[in-house]
Amino acid sequence: MASKVFPLIEKEKIRQVTGLEMIPSENYVSSDVLKALGSILTNKYSEGFPGRRYYGGNEVIDEIENYAVDLAKKLFNVPVALVQSYSGSPANMAVTMAVCSPGDTVMGLALSSGGHLTHGANLSFSSIFYKAVNYNVGKDWKIDFEELEALALKHKPKLIWAGTTAYPYKLDYKKFRKIADKVGATLVADIAHIAGLIVGGVHESPAPFADIITTTTHKTLRGPRGAMVMVTERGLKKDPEIKSKIERAIIPGLQGGPHNHQTAAIAVSLEEALQPSFKKYAAQVAKNAAVLAKELDTTSEVHLVLMPLTSYGYGMGYQAQYALEEAGITVNKNTIPGEPASPFYPSGIRLGTPALTTRGMKEKDMIKIAGWIKRALEEIRGLDLPQEQDLRKDFLKETKKKLHTNKNLKIIRAEIKTFAEKFPVPGIN
């Protein structure tokens, strides 16, 4: 029987090759990572940890997982690494369960200030089962450490998250550490977005300051979709039992058998990250982001750009995402600090350079891409979000139709297709 899935995969392949992937949490993996991810390792059940499995026949699986662990420890200079978490959010939940009891206070950067759902956002486990306190950024869009310290002293959190998802600046882990020490909190650095930059020496490592580190493996690290939890020397000294607590939270706390094909693919990507060429890649990611940000009249110290759209109109995030997608550029709508519209109808977009850099694009290409972005955004002027909430759904539906037939966006799309096809996509061409 001919599957309907494979033609759809081919369709997605064309989209990836002919367009520009600029969501900062997306990247391209190598052919070797894809080989491991699509391997026969997916056939094996292996609940438990190396040497402590609930099933037989895991001798080879143990070797693979131990190898991935050793690579992670070497790459991030930590004594403990766990590679079984299915993805970033479960990894963060496992750490929270290991450190806190239900009802304990956790602190993290507010979602509206560029934080992550699992750091205390409404409707997340981190606010349903724990008392969540959010700190924010100031008017300069940078973390307000004075507010963070005041909130920590007031609420005495058990855990403080140092991590972001839409924050264009570097993090000062030393400041986080001082505040955590004042209240006796466990400091957890979520480096999901910047793991590759840390490995590449572009961003300071949290290992000397944090107790625990979590990360996804599929963003700037260029691995498969997965996650790791690491414990630092400081973390082991604070709680010698923390490794076993996190292990129990992962299994049986949250999941059963690990995805062995994913573990193997993580190992392959960590091997690649240990190569000298990866440092050049990470440096280029940051250079590209800085140039892109400058061309779009904002700033970036990392891999992502948070672009406000208030100069184009009111509540323009959806409209911008639609327009850019029609032009062949994939971004995501995003709230901006001091959001003037609504978290559900945001006023900004989030862009990044990891995937573009993986394809070999450099500073001069960012200037060209920024030009296309600005041309595409001109097509949303006058498409302001209605103030009346009950009109918004129909408005966006009609706006999407209108942008789909926009001739100027089609012209840009054709230009981008010609441009993008010059840059190979790993694992595809």
Q: Exactly one of 118, 186, 214, 216 is catalytic; name it.
A: 216
Q: What pLDDT does residue 72 have?
A: 98
Q: What pLDDT does residue 67 have?
A: 98
Is 175 catalytic? The answer is no
CB atoms within 10 A of CB 313: 17
User: CA-to-CA distance for 229 and 189, rounded, in angstroms?
Assistant: 10
Helical packing angle, 407-420 and 317-326, nearest 10°:
60
User: CA-to-CA distance for 148 and 127, rounded, in angstroms?
Assistant: 18
pTM value?
Answer: 0.97
What is the per-residue pLDDT across 360-370, written as a single tens digit (0 to 9) for each? 999 999 999 99
Q: What pLDDT does residue 423 have?
A: 98
Is 238 catalytic? The answer is no
Q: Exactly one of 13, 18, 26, 45 is catalytic; name it.
A: 45
Q: Kindly report, as residue ranges, where domains of CATH 3.90.1150.10 are found in the chain.
A: 276-420
User: CA-to-CA distance for 260 and 213, rounded, in angstroms?
Assistant: 22
Q: Exactly one of 13, 175, 225, 245 is catalytic; name it.
A: 225
Is 241 catalytic? The answer is no
H or E element at residue 317: helix 317-326
Q: What pLDDT does residue 289 have?
A: 98
Q: What pLDDT does residue 76 have?
A: 98
Q: Exactly one of 65, 142, 177, 190 is catalytic; name it.
A: 190
Question: Is the backbone peptide bond immediately before 252 cis, with ω within 30 degrees of 0?
Answer: yes
Q: What pLDDT does residue 169 have?
A: 98
Q: Exactly one of 26, 32, 47, 384 is catalytic; name it.
A: 47
Low-confidence ranges of the chain (pLDDT < 50): none
Q: Exactly one of 142, 219, 359, 413 is catalytic; name it.
A: 219
- Residue 2 neighbours by CB under 8 Å, 6+ apart: none
- Residue 217, class by beta-carbon neighbours within 10 Å (0-12 exposed, 13-18 middle, 19+ buried)? buried
- CATH class, domain 276-420, is alpha beta
Q: What pLDDT does residue 259 have?
A: 98
Is 47 catalytic? The answer is yes
Q: What pLDDT does residue 2 have?
A: 86
- Residue 342, class by beta-carbon neighbours within 10 Å (0-12 exposed, 13-18 middle, 19+ buried)? middle
Q: What pLDDT does residue 1 have?
A: 79
- Range 31-273 has CATH code 3.40.640.10: yes
